Amino acid sequence: MGTNASYFIPREVAKNHEVMILEGPAYEAEAGLIVVENRDLNIKMINETEFKKKHASILKFVDQFQPDIIHLFYHHQALQLGQEIRKKYGNKIKLLLDIRTPLLEDKWLNRLRVQIRNIWFQGVFDMVATHSSYSVKTVFPISWLPIREVSYGVDVAAIKVRNSPWQKKDIDLVYVGAIAKKRKIGQLLLSFKILLERIEAQQYSFTLHLYGAGNHMREMKRLVETLGIQDHVVFHGLIKQSDLSQNLHKNAIGISYVPFGIYKQAPALKTLEYICAGLSVFASNTQPIKDLIAEGFRLDTYDNSEDGFANGILNICKKGWNEEITKGNLALINKFDWKHIVETTVLPTYQELAGK
Task: Please check whether residue 175 is in contact with residue 208, taking contact to mean a CB–CB distance below 8 angstroms.
Answer: yes
- pLDDT, residue 1, reads 40
- pLDDT, residue 138, reads 86
Task: Please check whether residue 255 is in contact with residue 188, taking contact to mean a CB–CB distance below 8 angstroms.
Answer: yes
What phi and psi, each to the nearest 5 degrees, are found at residue 220?
Answer: -70, -35
- pLDDT, residue 207, reads 97
Q: CA of 246: how far to CAs of 96, 166, 240, 277, in Å? A: 33, 16, 10, 9
Cα distance between residue 45 and residue 21, in whole Å? 8
Task: Count CB-CB contacts under 10 A for residue 351.
Answer: 11
How do strand 170-176 and strand 205-211 relate by DSSP bridges?
A: parallel
For the chain, which residues make up each domain, given as ranges?
Answer: 8-153+337-354, 157-336
Nearest to 82 by CA among 68, 96, 64: 96
Q: What is the dihedral of CA 6, 7, 10, 11, to 10 degrees?
A: -170
Cα distance between residue 99 and residue 25, in whole Å? 20
- Assess whether the region 8-153+337-354 and the region 157-336 belong to the same CATH fold: yes
Nearest to 138 by CA among 229, 50, 216, 74: 74
Parts of the chain with a pLDDT under 50: 1-2, 29
Tell me, what DSSP letter sits at residue 342? Answer: I
User: Where would I find the H helices in 198-335?
Assistant: 217-227, 241-247, 271-276, 287-294, 306-319, 323-332
Task: Please check whether residue 26 is in contact with residue 210, taking contact to mean a CB–CB distance below 8 angstroms.
Answer: no
CA contacts within 13 A on the Cβ side of 302: 23
- pLDDT, residue 50, reads 85
pLDDT digits (tens, 9 = 90+) for 65-119: 999 999 998 887 888 899 999 999 999 999 999 988 777 777 778 888 888 888 8
- pLDDT, residue 38, reads 64
Number of H helices, E strands in the chain: 14, 12
Task: Please check whether residue 211 is in contact with residue 238, taking contact to mean a CB–CB distance below 8 angstroms.
Answer: yes
Give the class (CATH, top level) of 8-153+337-354.
Answer: alpha beta
Cα distance between residue 67 and residue 217, in whole Å? 39
Give the class (CATH, top level) of 157-336.
Answer: alpha beta
Task: Please check whether residue 177 is in contact with residue 183, taking contact to mean a CB–CB distance below 8 angstroms.
Answer: yes
